[in-house]
Every structure is written in C-alpha cells, then in structure tokens.
C-alpha cells in the first residue's frame, strides 16, 4: 500500500512537472514568436469606397473627365466577380495626353522599418495591351500640398509628394504590369525618426486617355502599413537585467531606458507605461506572463516577466 501511495505521488509530481515544462516551452515559443509580431498603422480592403471619407481623391489629368477612382467593376477581370477593390481606368482622361489620378491616405506616423503592402493588377492579357503605370509616393509633414495647376502643368505636378517609393511598370511596357493580383511591398527607410506623412497612389500614364495608346484599367486592393514591434537591435540581453521577476508592482531595469512596451503572449500590446527612475509600474496588469520590449539609445531588446 505504501509503495502504491509513493508511486501515485511520484506520478502526480511527474505529471505536474510535465505540465510545467510544456507551459515553459509554450511561453518560450510565444516569446520567440513575438519577434514577428507587428502593429497595424493603417489597413484598407476597399470593400466600400464610400466609407473612405478621410482619404483624398484627385483627378489631375491633362484633360480630366468628371470621373475619379471608383468601386471595382465585377465584369472586367474575367472569372472574378469581385467588387471589393478600388479601380481607375483610361476614361479619367479624355483624348490622348497625361493621365494623373491620385488616391491619398490620411496622415499617418511612419518610421524606418515600417512595411507598406498592397495588391494590384490590370486587365486580363488580350490581343491588345494598353500599358498601365502606378506610383506609390510619400509626402512628409502634418499636412500635404496637393498637386497644383491644370492641364499639362497639373498633370506633371506632384505637390509635396516628391518621394517616389515604388513604381509598377515605370517604363510603360506591355508586360510590366501584372495581369493577375500581385502583391507589392516597400520597407520604409531614410527617415530621421517618427515622421508624420501621407502616402499616395498615383495612376500616372503618359499617352493615356480615351484615345491614347496607353492606359487601360487597374485595381488596387488590400493596402496596409505595418510595423514590426519586437525587432531587437544592438542591445545584449546579457547586459540588461529586469527585476524583480516575478513582480507585483514595479519592474526595474539595470540600464537607462527611454521607453518600454508590454505585450501579452499573443503579441498584443497591452501597456506602454512611463519609465521613471529606470522602472515601470505594472500594478494594473492582470496576473500572468508578459514580454516587455525595452528601448534604449543603443537599441531594443525583449524580456519575459511574470506579474503576480
């Protein structure tokens, strides 16, 4: 009987140990997984463009029609009845001259490392191809200056959107614009810090219009700007201590910290407490396991901690 009790105790302790090991492995894997977590700065699926009241649409073509960017047409892309995208076409410019139609985002805050993504395509490949071109541009500052003027001057103007980030089919070739939905991506660089900015899509086609040899029909979909939130740079974890751990109230750092962000194990940002005297107040957090991203002048690092 005693042997059976001892065996039972051993098995229970073994089970508890296995559960503890699995929990630790789960926490560790999630913590490593947080290196791929990201914050969404802006996201737009263009399901209903009438809701885009904080976006700006401008038709600055050389001979503009009264039209502008419009909801996707379900019959243009063969075998694809989707309307949940935004589109522009040759009819935005009459005759044959410079087609320049703008779609400008609300003001956002960008920093180096942010990732801009979107999908685009033109019509199905047919007997005749009318080349299209799409630009992604950026204007920095709290406000933007719209492209100015009319006619040829207005069509060539970019206003404050002087930074060209990406161009789809820049040389207007017959094969340069994808005929199926294709994702494009640009990683922001060259900024001096957190910068207010506006992004703009410009449907820009020379020799475009109702009688032009260029310009057909393009769609844009699934636009987003995201920020990797757990990127680690030069700071060594070995040189940074975070204590006490577990903690009930404050978390103290062994080095000078400029800011700190706290994430749960799903990668969700739950707090950005102020750093005072190299410590942060975590009393308001629910008990559990967290990861703190520590930002210093030298870079960033992450540490797991337990709130009890």
Residue 229 pLDDT grade (very low, low, confident, very high; cuts 50, 70, 90): low
Any idea what DSSP says for residue 192? S
Residue 4 tokens, joined: 């059976």
pLDDT given at position 296:
86
CA 196 to CA 139: how far, in whole Å? Answer: 9
Buried b (16+ CB within 10 A) or exposed e, 139-173: bbeeebebbeeeeeebbebbbbbeeebbbbbeebe
The residue with greater pLDDT, 50 or 230, is 50
Residue 176 pLDDT grade (very low, low, confident, very high; cuts 50, 70, 90): very high
Asked if residues 58 and 159 have their Cβ atoms less than 8 Å apart, the reply is no
**pTM: predicted TM-score of the whole model, two decimal places:** 0.67
pLDDT given at position 80:
73
Residue range 193-217: mean pLDDT, rounded: 97
Share of the chain above pLDDT 70, in %: 85
Q: What is the CATH number of domain 40-228?
A: 2.60.120.200
Largest CA distance in the chain: 98
- For residue 233, pLDDT over 80 is answered with no
Q: What is the mean pLDDT of the chain?
A: 86
Listed in order, the ranges of the chain carrying CATH 2.60.120.200 are 40-228
CA neighbours closer than 13 Å in the CB half-sphere of residue 285? 28
- For residue 300, pLDDT over 90 is answered with no
Q: What is the CATH number of domain 2-37+231-307?
A: 2.60.40
pLDDT given at position 162:
98
Residue 5 pLDDT grade (very low, low, confident, very high; cuts 50, 70, 90): very low
Listed in order, the ranges of the chain carrying CATH 2.60.40 are 2-37+231-307
Look at 28-42, 47-61, 143-157 and tell me which has the smallest mean pLDDT: 28-42
């Amino acid at each position: 009987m005693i042997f059976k009790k001892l065996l039972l105790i051993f098995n229970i302790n073994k089970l508890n140990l296995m559960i503890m090991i699995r929990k630790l492995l789960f926490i560790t894997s999630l913590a490593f997984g947080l290196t791929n977590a990201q914050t969404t700065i802006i996201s737009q699926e263009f399901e209903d463009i009438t809701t885009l009241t904080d976006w700006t649409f401008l038709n600055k073509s050389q001979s503009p029609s009264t039209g502008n960017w419009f909801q996707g047409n379900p019959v243009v892309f063969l075998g694809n009845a989707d309307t949940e995208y935004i589109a522009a076409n040759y009819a935005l410019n009459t005759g044959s001259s410079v087609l320049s139609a703008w779609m400008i985002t609300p003001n956002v805050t960008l920093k180096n490392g942010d990732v801009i993504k979107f999908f685009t395509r033109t019509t199905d490949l047919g007997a005749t191809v009318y080349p299209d071109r799409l630009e992604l541009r950026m204007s920095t500052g709290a406000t933007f200056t719209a492209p100015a003027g009319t006619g040829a001057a207005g069509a060539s103007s970019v206003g404050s959107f002087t930074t060209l980030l990406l161009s789809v089919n820049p040389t207007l070739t017959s094969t340069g614009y994808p005929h199926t939905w294709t994702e494009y991506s640009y990683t922001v660089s060259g900024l001096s810090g957190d910068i207010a900015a506006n992004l703009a899509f410009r449907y820009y086609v020379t020799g475009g219009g109702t009688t032009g040899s260029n310009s057909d029909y393009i769609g844009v979909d699934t636009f987003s700007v995201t920020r990797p939130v757990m990127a680690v740079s030069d700071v060594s974890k070995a040189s940074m201590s975070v204590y006490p751990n577990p903690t009930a109230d404050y978390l103290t750092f062994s080095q000078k910290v400029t800011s700190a962000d706290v994430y749960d194990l799903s990668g969700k940002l739950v707090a950005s407490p102020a750093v005072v005297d190299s410590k942060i107040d975590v009393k308001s957090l629910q008990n559990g396991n967290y990861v703190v991203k520590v930002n210093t002048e030298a870079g960033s690092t992450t540490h797991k901690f337990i709130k009890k």
